[in-house]
């Protein structure tokens, strides 16, 4: 039945009786089960004349239920248009038309590994059409099986992990590890994105600063008064400055404005406000306890102006001292010291206060991420391979500029393996803060698109306590961040690694204003962005999570964390995508062609 040739099984007369017998037995077996809401003629095989007879017989025998078949497309032999992994442009095209039938994707949003990007885009399209009714994510749960290594460590096994020699059996590697939850039903980070996008109360506002909240009840049978209680919070620069609760009646498929009484706020430079709205179950049900969060939304104020440069700089002496060879510069401001080195390992080597250096190695450009499963499916582990070693560099020029209250080391690096240059300016101020301005010049436009753009710092292991103001608490990416509200969060470096059953890129955060890594005494490093930053802080390097050109049966149990913290401070990282895992890319907004890029941030010491 899987034959996709010109004479397929559904078309061949020798197979007609087999098809008809299978359909009749299916209907006779399950016709009295109330949970069966429509019949399917099969999965992933070609449409043919047998399907026409199967459809006609089933509709005559059981006119109470629709009949669907994915490969029937939009012809007359299916009651439901049920495509598999349609592209977003196709969905927009069909959503703009009256189809006369439901449009339900029999499979969509392939959830393999670190995935589920652009999920909100799916649902913006779905909710724009009366015909679109959603779809079935492939898959619900990672189909991993419990196993143990030869030395007794547990892991989740997948294709290729079974049998003597393992490769003797045909397998598809981790292709069945594609759930929104792991084998123990713990949600993956992308599972939280699904929960957020699937919420049945939609929250928006044209005037959040006036406390006006627009609710749309996307349920079809339930009034909000019966099942939901709501809470709001006013957030100023990540801190809660007001809160309250409300309830409201709202019939299914209708909307209304609700006004809450907010504290008086005024627009300020360097300040931003968000109105967060949460909805909770009112009573316990067989599935959920009372007070369980089912709705959340974050509404930014129009006058937000967080990223405003300070006009005044601290006064005081800052000195710059070059080494005899001229390829090493030490910046000093009181008890603060920064060292910038040249040569083949050029970068920021030291950032210290009272002799306590928060760095354990030289900073370097970071253009690579450990390939996720969607990257492997699109062949990016090979086609973007040049970026794996794009950090190879040599100092091309170094210039020192001194001014009242500051000193700057302006470096130009030659990126040897990609034929491009990169400028990094380090400016120390009298208060010991170190501003870092980064520019990728992108001269070689023949390069493939960029997986990421940032600087990688290494810190001693003791700086393991992580705080940040940005999206969280779980990992998020530029095309998968709707479930991650902007706020202040506390965690540890060890908790940033998410154990996907096959190790891959993990732990990223987006829209970050600042972050800090501190030791048990509260001493450490703070990074503050000139614009929203992305970052990850892990005890692993990308190469630890990167198997190379093939996947090589890796598991989290195979990894050994380093006794260091690796902090990548990024302007961007490519989206994770999620249309499918066998060739689809993220939407164009989250793909980065080679061109000039620049960003900046300030390092400071937390004491």
What whole-number distance in Å separates Cα of residue 237 and Cα of residue 225? Answer: 32
Side-chain-side CA neighbours of 468 within 13 Å: the count stands at 33
Q: Is 187 exposed, middle or buried (0-12, 13-18, 19+ CB in 10 A)?
A: middle
Residues 6+ apart with CB under 8 A from 191: 116, 180, 181
| Residue 337 contacts residue 350 (beta carbons within 8 Å) | yes
**DSSP structural state of residue 41:** -
What whole-number distance in Å separates Cα of residue 562 and Cα of residue 246? Answer: 49
| Residue 601 contacts residue 575 (beta carbons within 8 Å) | no
Residue of 132, 482, 143 lying closest to 299 (CA atoms): 482
| Residue 457 contacts residue 359 (beta carbons within 8 Å) | yes
| Residue 458 contacts residue 360 (beta carbons within 8 Å) | yes
| Omega of the bond leading into 174 within 30 degrees of 0 (cis) | no
Pairing of strands 485-492, 465-472: antiparallel
Helices (H) and strands (E) in the chain, counts: 9, 30
What whole-number distance in Å separates Cα of residue 582 and Cα of residue 554? Answer: 20
Identify the helix (H) or strand (E) that includes residue 207: strand 201-207
Side-chain-side CA neighbours of 113 within 13 Å: the count stands at 27
Identify the helix (H) or strand (E) that includes residue 155: strand 154-157
Please tell me the total number of residues recorded for the chain in this structure: 607
DSSP H helices in 322-435? 373-377, 380-383
**DSSP structural state of residue 184:** T
DSSP structure string for 439-492: EE----TTSPPBSEEEEEEEEETT--EEEEEEEESS--BTTB-TTSEEEEEEEE
Residue of 439, 443, 398 lying closest to 422 (CA atoms): 439
What whole-number distance in Å separates Cα of residue 156 and Cα of residue 142? Answer: 9
Catalytically annotated residues = 44, 107
Taking the CB of residue 156, how many other CB atoms lie within 10 A of it?
23
Which residue bears the tokens 């629709």? 66
Phi-psi region of 195 (alpha: psi -120 to 50; beta: other; left: phi over 0): alpha
What whole-number distance in Å separates Cα of residue 574 and Cα of residue 86? Answer: 22
């Amino acid at each position: 039945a899987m034959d996709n040739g010109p004479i397929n099984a559904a078309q061949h007369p020798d197979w007609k009786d087999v098809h008809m017998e299978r359909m009749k037995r299916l209907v006779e077996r399950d016709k009295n089960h109330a949970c069966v809401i429509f019949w399917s003629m099969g999965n992933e095989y070609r449409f043919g004349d047998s399907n026409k007879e199967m459809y006609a017989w089933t509709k005559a025998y059981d006119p109470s239920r629709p009949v669907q078949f994915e490969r029937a497309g939009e012809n007359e032999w299916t009651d439901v248009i049920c495509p598999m992994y349609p592209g977003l442009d196709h969905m927009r095209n069909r959503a703009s038309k009256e189809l006369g039938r439901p449009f339900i994707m029999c499979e969509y949003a392939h959830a393999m590994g670190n995935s589920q990007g652009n999920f909100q885009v799916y649902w913006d399209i779905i909710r724009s059409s009366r015909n679109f009714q959603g779809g079935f994510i492939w898959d619900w749960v990672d189909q991993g099986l419990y196993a143990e290594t030869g030395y007794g460590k547990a892991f989740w096994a997948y294709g290729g992990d079974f049998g003597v020699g393992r490769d003797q059996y045909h397998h598809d590697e981790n292709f069945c590890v594609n759930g929104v939850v792991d084998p123990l039903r713990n949600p993956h980070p992308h599972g939280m994105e699904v929960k957020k996008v699937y919420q049945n109360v939609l929250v928006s506002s044209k005037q959040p600063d006036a406390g006006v909240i627009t609710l749309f009840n996307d349920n079809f049978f339930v009034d909000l008064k019966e099942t939901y209680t709501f809470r709001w919070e006013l957030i100023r620069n990540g801190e809660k400055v007001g809160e309250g609760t409300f309830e409201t009646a709202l019939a299914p498929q209708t909307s209304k404005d609700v006004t809450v009484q907010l504290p008086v706020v005024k627009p300020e430079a360097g300040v931003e406000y968000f109105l967060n709205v949460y909805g909770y179950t009112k009573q316990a049900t067989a599935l959920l306890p009372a007070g369980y969060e089912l709705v959340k939304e974050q509404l930014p104020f129009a006058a937000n102006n967080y990223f405003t440069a300070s006009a005044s700089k601290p006064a005081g002496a800052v000195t710059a001292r070059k080494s005899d060879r001229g390829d090493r510069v030490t910046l000093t401001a009181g008890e603060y010291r920064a060292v910038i080195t040249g040569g083949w390992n050029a970068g920021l080597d030291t950032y210290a206060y009272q002799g306590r250096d928060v760095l354990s190695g030289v900073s370097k450009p970071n253009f690579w991420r450990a390939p996720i499963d969607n990257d492997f499916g699109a062949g990016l582990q090979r086609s973007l391979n040049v970026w794996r070693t794009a950090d190879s560099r040599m100092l091309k020029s170094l210039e020192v500029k001194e001014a009242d209250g500051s000193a700057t080391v302006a470096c130009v690096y030659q990126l040897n393996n990609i034929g491009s240059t990169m400028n990094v300016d380090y400016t120390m101020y009298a208060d010991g803060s170190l501003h870092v301005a980064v520019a990728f010049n992108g001269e070689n436009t023949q390069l493939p698109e960029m997986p990421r753009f940032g600087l990688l710092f290494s810190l001693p292991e003791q700086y393991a306590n992580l705080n940040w103001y940005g999206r969280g608490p779980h990992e998020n990416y530029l095309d998968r961040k709707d479930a991650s509200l902007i706020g202040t969060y506390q965690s540890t470096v060890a908790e940033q690694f998410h154990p996907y059953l096959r190790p891959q890129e993990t732990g990223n955060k987006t829209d970050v204003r600042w972050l800090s890594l501190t030791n048990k005494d509260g001493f450490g490093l703070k990074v503050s962005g000139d614009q929203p930053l992305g970052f990850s802080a892990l005890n692993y390097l990308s190469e630890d999570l990167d198997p190379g050109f093939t996947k090589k049966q890796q598991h989290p149990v195979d990894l050994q964390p380093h006794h260091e913290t690796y902090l990548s401070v990024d302007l961007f990282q490519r989206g994770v995508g999620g249309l499918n895992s066998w060739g689809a890319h993220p939407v164009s907004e989250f793909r980065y062609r080679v061109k000039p890029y620049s960003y900046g941030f300030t390092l400071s010491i937390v004491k």
